[in-house]
Structure 1
Amino acid sequence: MSDSTQTETVVSALFDTAIGLCAIAWHGDTVVRFQLPEASEEQTLARITRPFDGSPVPESAPGPVIIEAIAGIRAHLDGAVDALRWIEVDLRGVPEFHRAVYAVTRAIDPGHTLSYGDIAGRIGAPGSAQAVGQALGRNPVPLIIPCHRVLAADHALHGFSAPGGIGTKARLLEIERTPGFGEPMLF
């Protein structure tokens, strides 16, 4: 994850996936924002291009590294499950607590989950499950930082802030072949 000073303009692109039109924003070879599909192309574009430092984010053709990231995301959403940890993200400006939450969340392998409380404990802040949930609700790069792999203590799908809510969360877990999602239960 990059911490270097941003000197490049942030640009964005829309791209089709198995779950709909996604968007990505980057500077250089580093992703700064990812957007799951909204209800329309216009809403997805508006969401990914909301201002950075007061400036709109223009659309641009991605270079080779971002093309590779887009291909990896597409393949993942097509079922060729990949942790996507190789995609470099820039979390500069993100509060330290959120960064800690994102580091633990990014380490969750596809097909596995943790609870909000598990993450709170792993970052040394037991009892802060609600704050973990708030941090994940502000995740600038969902899927790349897989906040959908974080569940309530009862393993229920509560409060997923991405477009489509818990339906999207369940679909992502199903794509990743997470036990208990998208498969018949034997018991």
Structure 2
Amino acid sequence: MTPLGCCLFDTAIGACGMAWTRDAIAGVQLPEATREGTRRRLCRAFGEVPQGEPPAFVQQAISRIQALLQGTRDDLVDLPLDFSGVPEFHRRVYEVARAIPPGEVLTYGEVARRLGEPGAARAVGQALGRNPFAPVVPCHRVLAAGGRSGGFSAEGGADTKLKMLEIEAARFGGTPGLFDAP
């Protein structure tokens, strides 16, 4: 479904963007180096969507994302997402990722096993690399084997991913030290 509007909003990690349909979030854009860069990337994903005042459900989503990126624990699982145009495998990956609570992580391989496809770790990583809903679909909570950060398609790459995990006080394997992993 074509988004009806979009807006930029400030967070603890920079200016994010959001596009929406009548009753769901069409996409969320993590910060680029500049506000204009964030807007351009949002437009690349959705076309020239008019900027506007977000409806109430989008304003609530923005407030919750802002709080999450300041360290408030909120899994955001009840936020409505527009999955039209999202491939079925990606949807399944996103459902598993959405079930990861703030402060916890899984590996790409663990996500693949939860999908019943233990050999699909690389495909899981590719699906998460195309995630149009970060951080509502918290792809930053999925790591490579051994606690390594793995890739991250947002501006700043793995550094942004690790910053988001640090904000959440994430632990790997139930113990502190995530950020000391090789």
TM-score of the two chains, using structure 2 as the length reference: 0.91
Tell me the alpha carbon deviations over residues 46-91 of structure 1, each in whole angstroms, 9 at most, x when there is no partner: 1112253xx4211111011111001101111111121111211111
Q: Secondary structure of the residue that 1:37 maps to in structure 2?
A: coil
For 1:46, what is the secondary structure of its paired residue? helix
What's the C-alpha RMSD, in Å, of the aligned pairs? 1.6
How does 1:23-42 map onto structure 2 within 5 Å?
23-42=17-36
Shift of 1:29: 2.9
| CA-CA distance at 1:10 after TM superposition | 2.7
Correspondences of 1:59-70 after superposition (within 5 Å): 59-70=51-62
Give the secondary structure class of the aligned counterpart of 2:103. coil
Task: Identify the residue that residue 154 of structure 2 maps to in structure 1.
Answer: 162
Aligned to 1:72: 64
In structure 2, give the amino acid aligned to 1:158.
G
**1:14-163 map, 5 Å:** 14-50=8-44, 52=46, 55-163=47-155
CA distance in structure 1 between the partners assigned to 2:24 and 2:147 by the alignment: 33
Query: By how many angstroms is 1:154 displaced?
Result: 1.0
C-alpha displacement at 1:174, in angstroms? 0.8
Q: What is the CA deviation profile of residues 119-144 of structure 1, one whole-angstrom value per residue up to 9, with x for unaligned ones?
A: 11111111110010000000000110
The secondary structure found in structure 1 opposite 2:158 is helix
**If the length of structure 1 is used for normalisation, what is the TM-score?**
0.89
| 5+ long unaligned stretches in structure 2 | none
Shift of 1:182: 7.9
Distance in 1 of aligned mates of 2:81 and 2:132: 10
Structure (1/2) with the larger helix percentage = 2
Equivalent-residue separation in structure 2 for 1:148 and 1:63 (angstroms)? 27
- 1:173–1:181: 8 Å Cα contact kept in structure 2? no
- Counterpart contact for 1:13–1:60, Cα < 8 Å: yes
Give 4+ residue runs of structure 1 displaced > 6 Å after superposition.
Answer: none
CA gap of 1:98–1:22, structure 2 versus 1, over 3 A, is same
Number of aligned pairs?
A: 176
* 2:7 maps to 1:13: yes
What amino acid does structure 2 have at the position aligned with 1:50? R
Secondary structure of 1:33's counterpart equals: strand
Is the contact between residue 150 and residue 158 of structure 2 (CA under 8 Å) also seen in structure 1?
A: yes
Where structure 1 has 5 or more consecutive residues not aligned to the other structure, the ranges are 1-5
